[in-house]
C-alpha cells in the first residue's frame, strides 16, 4: 500500500476539481475555504468553523454560507463579460440579472444586489411573489429587472408600477395572450412598458433540462408569433416598447455546443427583427451556465465541458459575428445565470450519528447434534477456505447453499437458528472473498457487488428531502466529503443514509478518484470525536427546494464573512435559526399551544391516580414543551 498523504486524499475526493477555486484540502487534512480565489492569503479552516459553530451552541445539521464566495461569483461573471467585450471589440454592454428562483433567501439576494451594484447587475423574477420581492429589493435604477413566467392582470399592474418608480422593468411575453393583456393595461394606466419576447428555440439544451427548448417547450413564442407581436405593437403605436429578445434553452447545459447553437439561432432572430424595422436594444441569453458537480469537466449530467470564460466568449463572439455579418448594431447582452452564481456559496454540514453495518452480525456456529446437513456443508466450505484455489467456485457453492437453505426454511425443514447459522457462515465466506479479490486485477462481475453489500451505511443527521432534493428527485450528484481527517487513510467504504423513515433517504452516488461509485471512502468513527461531512455546492436550488418530509424542517444557518485581520480569517456574522417542531407543526395546521395544554391535562390526571408525583408531572410537562420548541433533527 502506498503512503497516505494530502495528494492521495485529493486524488480520492477531488476537492480542487469541483471546488471552483474556493475549496481545497489543507495541510492539516481539513477542507479549506479560499473565498476570494485571487487572494489565497485568506484561508478558512473548516475545522475552525465547526468549532465556532459548536461554541455558539448552534445545533447541527447547519447550512454554512460563505458570503464572500457569493460576492466573488458575482464579480467573476461580470468582470469576465466586461473583459471579453473589450477584447472582442464588441460595441454593446453586459447587463446581467440574477434569477431569484435559484435561491430566494433574503440574505442571498441582498448580498448579490450589493455585490452587483458596481456592475448594474439586476434581478429576474418568474412569479408574482418573486416580482413583489424584486420590486422591493432591486432599487438600482440603472440595472434591469426582467420578468419571465406566466402573468395575470395583477402581475402586469405590479410591473407597470415599477415603471412609474423609474425602474427598467422588462415584461417578457411568454405567450401571445399576455401581450394583449399587457397592452390593454398599459393603455389604461397610460404607462409605457418595456416589452420582451421569449423565443421558443428549435435548438435543444444538453443535459437533464433539455426539454426547456425545442418545439414542445412550455414557454415562448414561435417565430410566427414573434412577428405577429411586433406587428401588433406597431399597430397599437407601441413598437418602440419592444426592446428585448429572450431565450433560455435549459439549466445546467452540459455541452458547450448547445450554447453556440443557441447563440447562432438567437442572433439570427435578433438581426432579422432589426432589419424588419424592430431595432431591439437587448438580447437576453437566459441561464444554463453549468456547474462541475462531479469535477470531471465533461458532458456528464452533473458536469459541463467548458468554463465560465468559454461560455462568456461564446456568447459575446457568437453575437458579434452574426451582427457583423448581418450589418446590425451589437445589442446589450443580458444573461440570467443563477446556478453558477449561487451553487458554491453554501454547503450543508452534518454529523455522522451512527453506523449501520451490513451483514456483519453473527451467531455461534458450533456443531450441534442432529443439525441439518445444509449447515454442515456451509461450515465445511467456510473452514476450508485456505485450501480452495478456485474462488469463483466457492462463491457459486456458497450462494447455492444459501438459496437452498432459504427454501428449506420456508418448507419447515430448517429451523430459524439453523438458517441464522448458515447466514453467518455465508457472510464470513463473502468477507474472505472480498478480501481476496481486493488485491486481484480481475474481479468477476457478481463479486464486484460485494463491495456494496459488505459496505457500511453511515447515518447522517439530516434529511435528503430537505437538504439535497435533487439527489433524490433527479439523481443529481453533489460532492460529499469528510471535513476533517483527510490526512488519515479512510478505512471504511460506506454509503450515507439520512434520518427520515424513507428508504429513498440516502446518498449512494459519489465521485471517487474521478469515477462514479456507490460507496465513499470514509474514516472509522471514534468515540467522543464527532465526525462531520459536508455536502457541497448546495447553494443553487437545493437550498430552497427542500420539503418537510417526516416533519424535518429548515436547517440552522450560519453566515460567514472572511476577515483578514482575524487569526482564523473569518467571523460568524449571523445565525439564522432553523425550524422548530412548533414551526413545522403550525404549517401542517396543528396548534402546538393547544397540544401542550392537552398533554398537560393528560399528565396531570396521572397525579391523582398516583403514577406521577406533582414534581415529576411538572418535569414531564416541561420536557414535552421543550421538545416542541426544539430543533427537528437529532440531538446527538
Ligand atoms: C431557471 C431559469 C434561469 C436560471 O437558470 P440557471 O441554469 O440556474 O442559470 C434563467 N432564466 C430562466 C427563464 C429560468 O427559468
Number of domains in the chain: 3
Residue to probe by mutation, ligand 1, list 171, 213, 255, 338, most atoms within 8 Å of CB: 338
Q: Are residues 323 and 420 in the same domain?
A: no
Q: Ligand 1 centroid to 287 CA: how many Å? A: 4
Q: At what angle do helices 223-235 and 176-189 cross, to 10 degrees?
A: 20
Which residue bears the cell 447562432?
264
Among 421, 451, 481, the domain boundary falls at 451
DSSP 514: T
Q: Are residues 172 and 289 in the same domain?
A: yes
**172 close to ligand 1 (CB < 6 Angstrom):** no
Q: Are 487 and 5 a contacting pair, CB within 8 Å?
A: yes
Among 390, 423, 451, the domain boundary falls at 451
Q: Are residues 411 and 295 in the same domain?
A: no
Q: Are 69 and 22 a contacting pair, CB within 8 Å?
A: yes
In a domain, 331, yes or no: yes
Q: Are residues 289 and 434 in the same domain?
A: no
Using pLDDT thresholds of 50, 70 and 90, give the confidence band for residue 508: very high
**123 close to ligand 1 (CB < 6 Angstrom):** no
Q: Are residues 218 and 270 in the same domain?
A: yes
Q: Are residues 263 and 410 in the same domain?
A: no
Nearest atom in ligand 1 to the alpha carbon of residue 540 is 8
Using alpha carbons, select from 501, 552, 600 the residue that is nearest to residue 592: 600
> How far from the centroid of its chain's Cα atoms is residue 561's Cα?
22
In a domain, 341, yes or no: no
Q: Are residues 153 and 290 in the same domain?
A: yes
The pLDDT of residue 143 is 98
In a domain, 101, yes or no: no
The pLDDT of residue 426 is 96
Q: Are residues 183 and 273 in the same domain?
A: yes
In a domain, 362, yes or no: no
In a domain, 288, yes or no: yes
In a domain, 466, yes or no: no
Q: Are 193 and 163 a contacting pair, CB within 8 Å?
A: yes
Q: Are 65 and 559 a contacting pair, CB within 8 Å?
A: yes
Q: Ligand 1 centroid to 465 CA: how many Å? A: 22
Kindly report, residue by residue over 348-386, the tens digit of the pLDDT.
999 999 999 887 788 999 998 999 999 999 999 999 999
Q: Are residues 378 and 433 in the same domain?
A: yes
Q: Ligand 1 centroid to 289 CA: how many Å? A: 9
**319 close to ligand 1 (CB < 6 Angstrom):** no
Strands (E), 448-565: 456-460, 480-482, 492-497, 506-507, 510-512, 515-517, 520-522, 532-535, 556-562
Residue to probe by mutation, ligand 1, list 77, 96, 102, most atoms within 8 Å of CB: 102
Residues in the chain: 636
Among 336, 362, 381, the domain boundary falls at 336
**251 close to ligand 1 (CB < 6 Angstrom):** yes
Kindly report, residue by residue over 178-188, the tens digit of the pLDDT.
999 999 999 99
**289 close to ligand 1 (CB < 6 Angstrom):** yes
Q: Are residues 331 and 442 in the same domain?
A: no
Using pLDDT thresholds of 50, 70 and 90, give the confidence band for residue 213: confident
Nearest atom in ligand 1 to the alpha carbon of residue 250 is 7
Nearest atom in ligand 1 to the alpha carbon of residue 288 is 7
- pLDDT over 90 percentage in the chain: 88
The pLDDT of residue 139 is 87
Q: Which three cell numbers stand for residue 549?
A: 418530509
Please enumerate in sequence order all residues whose Cβ is within 8 A of that of 45, keeping only pairs 6 or more positions apart, or say none. Answer: 26, 28, 30, 32, 568
Q: Ligand 1 centroid to 211 CA: how many Å? A: 13
Nearest atom in ligand 1 to the alpha carbon of residue 212 is 15
**103 close to ligand 1 (CB < 6 Angstrom):** no
Whether the model pTM is above 0.85: yes
Using alpha carbons, select from 121, 110, 108, 38 the residue that is nearest to residue 78: 121
pLDDT surpassing 80 at residue 217: no
pLDDT surpassing 80 at residue 23: yes
Nearest atom in ligand 1 to the alpha carbon of residue 102 is 8
Q: Are residues 203 and 315 in the same domain?
A: yes
Sign of the CA dihedral with 510 first, then 512, 517, and 520 last: negative
Q: Domain range spanning residue 413? A: 373-451
Helix runs in 192-252, H state only:
223-235
DSSP element (H, E) containing 32: strand 31-33
Residue 392: give its domain's CATH number.
Answer: 1.20.58
Atom 5 of ligand 1, residue of closest alpha carbon: 287
Average pLDDT, the chain: 95
Q: Ligand 1 centroid to 346 CA: how many Å? A: 19
Q: Ligand 1 centroid to 172 CA: how many Å? A: 14
Q: Are residues 329 and 412 in the same domain?
A: no
**99 close to ligand 1 (CB < 6 Angstrom):** yes
In a domain, 502, yes or no: no
Q: Are 219 and 198 a contacting pair, CB within 8 Å?
A: yes
**102 close to ligand 1 (CB < 6 Angstrom):** yes
pLDDT surpassing 80 at residue 259: yes
In a domain, 292, yes or no: yes
Residue 94 backbone phi and psi in degrees, to 5: -115, 130
Amino acid at each position: 500500500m502506498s503512503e497516505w498523504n494530502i495528494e492521495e486524499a485529493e486524488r480520492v475526493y477531488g476537492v480542487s476539481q469541483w471546488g471552483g477555486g474556493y475549496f481545497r484540502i489543507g495541510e492539516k487534512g481539513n477542507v479549506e475555504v479560499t473565498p476570494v480565489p485571487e487572494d489565497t492569503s485568506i484561508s478558512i479552516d473548516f475545522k475552525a468553523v465547526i468549532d465556532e459553530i459548536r461554541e455558539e451552541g448552534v445545533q447541527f445539521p447547519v447550512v454554512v454560507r460563505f458570503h464572500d464566495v457569493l460576492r466573488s461569483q458575482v464579480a467573476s461573471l461580470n468582470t469576465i463579460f466586461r473583459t471579453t467585450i473589450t477584447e472582442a471589440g464588441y460595441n454593446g454592454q453586459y447587463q446581467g440579472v440574477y434569477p431569484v428562483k435559484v435561491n430566494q433567501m433574503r440574505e442571498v439576494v441582498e448580498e448579490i444586489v450589493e455585490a452587483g451594484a458596481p456592475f448594474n447587475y439586476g434581478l429576474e423574477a418568474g412569479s408574482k411573489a418573486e416580482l413583489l420581492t424584486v420590486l422591493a429589493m432591486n432599487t438600482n435604477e440603472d440595472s434591469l429587472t426582467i420578468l419571465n413566467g406566466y402573468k395575470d392582470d395583477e402581475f402586469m399592474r405590479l410591473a407597470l408600477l415599477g415603471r412609474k418608480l423609474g425602474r427598467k422593468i422588462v415584461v417578457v411575453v411568454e405567450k401571445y395572450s399576455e401581450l394583449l393583456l399587457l397592452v390593454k393595461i398599459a393603455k389604461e394606466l397610460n404607462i409605457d412598458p418595456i416589452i420582451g419576447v421569449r423565443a421558443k428555440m428549435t435548438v435543444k439544451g444538453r443535459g437533464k433540462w433539455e426539454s426547456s427548448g425545442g418545439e414542445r417547450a412550455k414557454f415562448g413564442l414561435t417565430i410566427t408569433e414573434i412577428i405577429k407581436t411586433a406587428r401588433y405593437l406597431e399597430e397599437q403605436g407601441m413598437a418602440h416598447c419592444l426592446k428585448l429578445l429572450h431565450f433560455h434553452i435549459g439549466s445546467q447545459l452540459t455541452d458547450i455546443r448547445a450554447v453556440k447553437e443557441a447563440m447562432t439561432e438567437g442572433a439570427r432572430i435578433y438581426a432579422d427583427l432589426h432589419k424588419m424595422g424592430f431595432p431591439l436594444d437587448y438580447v437576453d441569453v437566459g441561464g444554463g451556465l453549468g456547474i462541475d458537480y462531479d469535477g470531471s469537466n465533461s458532458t456528464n449530467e452533473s458536469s459541463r465541458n467548458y468554463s465560465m470564460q468559454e461560455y462568456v466568449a461564446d456568447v459575446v463572439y457568437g453575437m458579434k459575428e452574426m451582427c457583423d455579418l448581418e450589418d446590425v448594431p451589437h445589442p446589450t447582452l443580458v444573461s440570467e445565470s443563477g446556478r453558477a452564481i449561487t451553487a458554491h456559496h453554501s454547503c450543508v454540514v452534518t454529523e455522522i450519528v451512527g453506523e449501520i453495518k451490513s451483514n456483519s452480525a453473527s451467531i455461534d456456529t458450533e456443531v450441534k447434534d442432529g443439525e441439518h446437513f445444509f449447515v454442515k456443508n456451509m461450515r465445511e466450505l467456510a473452514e476450508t477456505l485456505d485450501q480452495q484455489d478456485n474462488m469463483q467456485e466457492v462463491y457459486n457453492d456458497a450462494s447455492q447453499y444459501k438459496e437452498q437453505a432459504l427454501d428449506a426454511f420456508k418448507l419447515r425443514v430448517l429451523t430459524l437458528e439453523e438458517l441464522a447459522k448458515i447466514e453467518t457462515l455465508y457472510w464470513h465466506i463473502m468477507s474472505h472473498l472480498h478480501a481476496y479479490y481486493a488485491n486481484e486485477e480481475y474481479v468477476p462481475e457478481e463479486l464486484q457487488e460485494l463491495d456494496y453489500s459488505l459496505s457500511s451505511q453511515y447515518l447522517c443527521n439530516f434529511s435528503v428531502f430537505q437538504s439535497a432534493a435533487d439527489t433524490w428527485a433527479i439523481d443529481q450528484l453533489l460532492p460529499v466529503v469528510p471535513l476533517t481527517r483527510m490526512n488519515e487513510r479512510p478505512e471504511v467504504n460506506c454509503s450515507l443514509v439520512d434520518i427520515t423513515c424513507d428508504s429513498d433517504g440516502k446518498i449512494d452516488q459519489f465521485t471517487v478518484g474521478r469515477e462514479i461509485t456507490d460507496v465513499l471512502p470514509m474514516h472509522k468513527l471514534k468515540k467522543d470525536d464527532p465526525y462531520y461531512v459536508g455536502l457541497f455546492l448546495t447553494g443553487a436550488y437545493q437550498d430552497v427546494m427542500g420539503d418537510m418530509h417526516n416533519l424535518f424542517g429548515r436547517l440552522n444557518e450560519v453566515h460567514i464573512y472572511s476577515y483578514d485581520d482575524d487569526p482564523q480569517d473569518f467571523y460568524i456574522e449571523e445565525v439564522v435559526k432553523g425550524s422548530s417542531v412548533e414551526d413545522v407543526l403550525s404549517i401542517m395546521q396543528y396548534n402546538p399551544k393547544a397540544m401542550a395544554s392537552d398533554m398537560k391535562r393528560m399528565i396531570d390526571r396521572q397525579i391523582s391516580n398516583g403514577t406521577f408525583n406533582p414534581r415529576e408531572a411538572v418535569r414531564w410537562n416541561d420536557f414535552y414543551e421543550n421538545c416542541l420548541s426544539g430543533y427537528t433533527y437529532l440531538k446527538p
